[in-house]
Amino acid sequence: MRYVDGPTVECDLHVAADPARVWKLVTDVELPTRFSPELRRVRWLDGSSGPALGARFEGHNHNPALGEWRTISHVVRFDEPRVFGWLVLDPDNRFGGGPADPEHPAATWQFRLTPERDGCRLSQWVRIGPGRTGLSLFIDRAPENEEKIIEFRLAALREAMTTTLQGIRNLAERPR
């Protein structure tokens, strides 16, 4: 797998809770900060107080190998109560991709809910690129190891996404 191919990873699990309750959790952009090893804080921009198509939010991240960075995300899918998706931009050109361009996001993320038995199937999906990310810096330094670098990052994302999904499930299934 090469960066130019748009590497993806997807994780899913069953949540035994009302899909409306799960939807409320996955559209709370601050919630993943409770589970993510990188995402530290999030806030809605432009006076928005919640998710809607076109809404924007700012994220602040930290990774031991990369330090701190900021992102701006744009909600590009909002099909209540089924799909919540956003693209991520590097507004500070931290990773050398030039001006932030929604046509070339650093990543595209999505939660999907599919009704199922006594609840729903919750999945989280991400595609890396085509815009530059921290991963690009590692590939620049060792292009001969590109596939291994991508495999390592996808494994880390898979682990973080699984933790996030399990956290959402635990909250959704908790008695009120």
Q: What is the CATH number of the domain that holds 8?
A: 3.30.530.20
| Number of domains forming the structure of the chain | 1
Asked, for residue 73, whether it belongs to a domain, the answer is no
pLDDT digits (tens, 9 = 90+) for 17-73: 999 999 999 999 999 999 999 999 999 999 888 899 999 999 999 999 899 999 999
SS (H, E, C) 62-109: EECCCEEEEEEEEEEEEECCCEEEEEEECCCCCCCCCCCCCCCCCEEE
| Cβ-contact 122, 17 below 8 angstroms | no
Asked, for residue 133, whether it belongs to a domain, the answer is yes
* Structural domain harbouring 150: 3-29+79-173
pLDDT digits (tens, 9 = 90+) for 95-151: 999 999 999 999 999 999 999 999 999 999 999 999 999 999 999 999 999 999 999
Count of C-beta atoms within a 10 Å radius of residue 40: 12
Under 8 Å CB-to-CB from 143, ≥6 apart: which residues?
A: none
Say how far apart CA 75 and CA 139 lie, in whole Å. 28
Asked, for residue 150, whether it belongs to a domain, the answer is yes
Give the dihedral sign, CA 155/160/163/168: negative
